[in-house]
Chain A
Amino acid sequence: MEKQLLRLTVNNEYHELYIKPKKLLVEVLRDELGLTGTKRGCNTGACCACTVLLNGVTAKSCSVLAVQADGAEVTTVEGLADGGKLSPLQRSFLDHGAYQCGFCTSGMLMSATALLNENKNPKKEQIKEAIHGNICRCTGYNSIIRAIKAVVEGRYKEEK
């Protein structure tokens, strides 16, 4: 099958590549661009481990054809840190032990990042709603919610 041109800006870096139309966004990110921070979990759209920001809002990269993202801006977990400095959410996740095996962490971070971009002061219920789709099989949800709340409460500032 003929390959098609895909133009994608990932973490502020512009890429042009040729891919088969059946390629999923998660496959392009991981296999073509080597950005393996985005995890491929269930691969059926049920676990949200593969969550990325697509034009600023969350999407499951296993449930989007890469060709449909042509021209889009994508942010993956690798794009959260600024010049090696972790984002407030990333630091808070570390301090709160908001992971065990770590497989859901990048998806959780992306969902939480999207939430805080949209709403600086979410209530606990809104935090739970935002990460509702992200499944953590170690069931560490409480520490994840605490980590996000700590950022909401202003305990983690952007590092200068």
Chain B
Amino acid sequence: MIRDFVYLKATTIKEALDLLEQYKDDYKIICGGQSLLILMRQGLVVPKNLIDIKSVKELSYINFKPKEGLKIGATTTHREIEKSSLIKKHYPVLADMEENLASVQTRNWGTIGGNLAHGDPAGDPGPIFIALNASVKMANRERERTIPLEEFFADYFETTLEEGELLIEVQLPTIPPRTATVYEKFNIIKNDQGIVSVAASITMDDDHVSCKDARIVLGAAAATPVRAKKAEQLLRGHKLDNGLLEKIGKMAFEEADPVTDIHATEEYRRHLVKALTKRMVRKAWEQAKTIA
């Protein structure tokens, strides 16, 4: 049973920021509510004031400029990202991820800002966005700030959003040349959250033989989406072969810090991290090689 709360609706960014300031002692922001309402129904989140930003249309946009990259407003729905021709063309890995995120019903109503602010380490967008070097812009009544998405996630279901602060947009830089980004989650039922997920982005050197840069991001393998930085380092400057791939998988296995829960044990998750990391690194490598 959901407990009573005071419902406050904002229709502009300014109204939202004013409400956040006014009720900063005890509020929760709702947008699509696809994650939040589950927690409220279970009594895990009991807000005194619920500030609704679903109708803040200024925050619903997908903009792309070849030099600056992609900007997605916080109240943009998953379905809008999935269907966007700009995203299909310039960031196809994102459109694929959205197609496999929950049900159509959830994607119609759930928003990208809500997904990130929910801070679930098993969420799909986090690992891909981090692999694509995303930043997030936040604002309160006084100022704006932009930080790498990696620094946005603090702990299980916790972010570094401050009191009175609103998530404004996700920013993705243009994808560098000779770069491929791939993502896969392991689940039992299609479109469920991953028991573990891995995103990998590989940039080849000018010579198309060795790796210039790599980003490997693990989902549901720690308290937040995390980069397997030591595994990435093994790849930089090198040429991929089976021996190196095995070492990268083992390193990611070590770097993961998963829990045991109803879905899988810690050990099982570590093995998934290893298997998926190897699979994703190989796939990204094969794709990146063919990009002129």
The contact sample of 11 A-B pairs, CB cut-off 8 A, is A4-B7, A20-B4, A63-B34, A63-B37, A63-B109, A64-B109, A65-B52, A67-B52, A111-B105, A130-B104, A134-B103
**In whole angstroms, how far apart are the Cα atoms of A46 and B20 in the complex?**
31
Chain B residues 1 to 57 lying within 8 A of chain A, measured CB to CB, are 2-7, 9, 30, 33-34, 37-38, 41, 50, 52, 54
Q: Which of A13-69 contact B (CB under 8 A)?
A: 20-22, 24, 43-45, 48, 51, 54, 57-60, 63-65, 67-68
Answer whether residue B190 sits at the interface, using C-beta atoms and an 8 A cutoff: yes
Q: A44-B38, A48-B103, A65-B33 are in contact. Are A21 and B7 (CB under 8 A)?
A: yes
Complex: A134 Cα to B104 Cα, angstroms: 10
Are A51 and B54 in contact (CB-based, < 8 A)?
no
Interface of A is mostly: mixed
Q: How large is the interface on A (under 10, 10 to 19, 20 to 34, 35 or more residues)?
A: 20 to 34
The answer, among B2, B104, B109, B191, for a CB contact under 8 Å with A22, is B2
B106 within 8 A of A: yes
Q: Are A1 and B104 touching (Cβ within 8 A)?
A: no
Closest 10 CB pairs of A and B: A133-B103, A21-B7, A1-B4, A22-B2, A57-B108, A58-B105, A60-B105, A59-B109, A133-B105, A67-B7
Residue total for B at the interface (Cβ-Cβ under 8 A): 27
Q: B102 contacts the other chain (Cβ, under 8 Å)?
A: yes
Question: Which residues from chain B contact A58 at a C-beta distance below 8 Å?
Answer: 104-105, 108
Nearest Cβ distance between residue A119 and chain B, in whole angstroms?
12
List residues of A whose CB falls within 8 A of some B CB.
Answer: 1, 4, 20-22, 24, 43-45, 48, 51, 54, 57-60, 63-65, 67-68, 111, 114, 129-130, 132-134
Inter-chain contact total with CB atoms closer than 8 Å:
79
Task: Say yes or no: A68 contacts B103, CB within 8 Å.
Answer: no
Nearest chain A CB to B9 CB, angstrom units: 8
Residue of A nearest to B55 (CB): A68
Bound complex: CA of A45 vs CA of B37, how far in Å? 9
Q: In the complex the two chains form, is B104's CB within 8 Å of A64's CB?
A: no
Instruction: Flag if A51 contacts B7 (CB, 8 Å).
Output: no
Interface string of B61-86 (1 = CB under 8 A from A): 00000000000000000010000000
